[in-house]
Chain A
Amino acid sequence: MERKLNVVVVGGGVIGALIAREFSRYECELTLIEKELDVGWGVSKANSAILHGGYDDPPGSVRARFCFPGNQMYDQLQSELHFDLKRTGSYVLAFRPSELPVLDELMQKARENGVEGCAIHSREQVLAREPNVRPDVEAGFFCPQAGITEPWMVAITAVESAKKNGLQLRLGEEVNGVQTVEEQGKRKVVSVQTPSATYPCDIVVNAAGLFSDEISRMAGAPCPELYPRKGEYILLDKKPAPLVQTILFPVPDKVSKGILVLPTVDGGTLLGPTAQDMDPDRKEDTSTTSEGFAQIFDHTIRMVNGIDLSKTVKTFSGLRPESPQKDFVLEKTPVEGFFNAAAMRSPALTSAPAIARYVVEDLVIEQAGFPLQRKIFFDPFIRPYAKVSELGPEEWEKKVRQDPRFGKMICVCNEITEGEILEAIERGATTIDGVKFRTRASFGRCQGGFCLPRIVEILARELRLPEDEVRYRSGASTLLGKKVRS
């Protein structure tokens, strides 16, 4: 029997995770290498979390090709992986008569991109659906296909699914070399290097987000230089009531889709993003700025009434990998076996399932001719995370009967129990953020004021670590110092 092909996916964001899951449908030795201590912690964790309708990408672009199909693949993906997904629909709102032609252009583009069901809504229709929109709105371009999700959970659950089907996950390892050899006049990838190991490989897919240009360079494959575009956000509390039900865009400007007001899957309201182009050497600068906050406020109050910043739960910023072409780089490179899924700017989250399938079926198998065989037994399902607060009291009680720790409240804002924290740890969380992103504990209005000490205690106990080794995230992000009394 021939040896199985070695496949390495570099990067555990939504793109890398879904690509790895696609590979896990095939007979191969599959490894995903991620530099952080968990998956979904780069670009994937700080963005608008939108499944775009696909109506506004330039017709003929790579983005337009993958956005709508990706959007349509999410329902099945969700039924297999059980991350949160809501088809909220989206509006592009015109507040001046001069903006109305933009809505017509969007209708036209939607048709060209094959996006179905879009319509222009009158002021009355917009206000009936979204009473907090400013009443001077002229009209709205409505796309029913748009929705919201939790991007990090897409990555987390996709990796879990791939692991169930044979993926080896290597966390906390940063790729620092890609080795190639010259064979019959052609360069060919042979291994991927990290500080602690060498991974021999036949196929490498580079999905390293902001750093995919650097990984590509290591392999000697061309890739446009990427630069980060910073987007800052303000998240508002779900109490007293969600401000909007639909994703609200202003009419787009030349740079971006504008600053939005949108609901989050757990009922909060997200304001943002700004769009600031940064130097290529600032790929880790996720700092927020007072100018950014001011800009968000200034833009969003022009669309929606009732924005109250005293309800701020969290501020954050994310970096989107942008290229001069402003389009995805999705290709078989001249280096045999080395594939790029790079420059994953918006709408990469939406496009991701379609991109992942394209990379494996079209680029790797079809175009490069790698003989990957489908597995006979591929299990697409993972079990849903227990979310006991979404059950009624009677159902919740049944859960408590199975395990009383589902009756012990840890996060009081989002109603997350010890049972759910333990499940998150059992399924891979090793840090505060790992627990937080899987369960939403400490994601609420008090930001860990109640639950943080308790989660530290549970993590230390379950992972058998001293409390001063419990980390917030990767690297030197420990929380606590020495013992007060030894």
Chain B
Amino acid sequence: MNVTGRQRFGFSAYAGLVLLIFYFPVFCITAASLSKKRYFSFPFPASDLTLKWYHDALVSPQVSQYVGVSLRVALLTTVLSVIIGFFGALAYARYAWRGRRAFQRLVLLPLFFPQSVLGLALLMWFNFLDITPSWITAVLAHTVWIAPITTLIMSIQAYSFDNSLEEAARDMGATNGQILRWITIPLLTPGMVSAGCFAILLSWGNFALSLFTTGADSTLPEWLYARMTSGYQPIIPAVGTLSVLLAIALVFLVVGILSLRRRNAAKPAASTP
């Protein structure tokens, strides 16, 4: 179908409207975080604009403690899910083996599952094993949910994998370890980077799994939730806005790095016929 200019305009207007509504809550949070008043009301005069709450959020020892827990959980989850997902993607997409179809179903299962129930199930399992929940058990919970996602992301890359490169290396006498180190890992690196970004961001923002599995520790989303339902302070929208900005910045950073790498990789390939 050749789309006419008017149709294209209609679709663009619709997309703009959806994005506008989609970003309405982000606008609201930002507005609330910039208002001087303890009890937010809109619209407020320009004289009420302040960055005080951001300052408070950045120096608050309480906030940085929760940020610390969230970061630890996110980083460890990312490392685990990228490693597990790397091999998972090879099993998913690269090798033809007998259990493959069942394995592909297994990868999807945790994604098509209510997170709150998964969190509860893990809590009871930890209780059964006499393990006291802490941020480490939260890492396990996050990994169960995020490793399938990293596996799928890296599978996309693994499907376009050129098997003959590995075979050539093997013919020339490379060991399995050498092939992994010099062929497989470099070829899947772009997939690993985007999978890692997904992992760190999804773990950072997760609430449903953390709620049940962190025990006495508390992540940033949990603390925000507790303060939202009781004891509102303008520092809460400030922290919320910061975390939105952080997510957007990280996405753009990674997109930038990946497209830069692609451009660099394309250059030598283009010069040699």
Do A and B originate from a single complex?
no
Residues of B within 8 A of A (CB): none
Residues of A within 8 A of B (CB): none
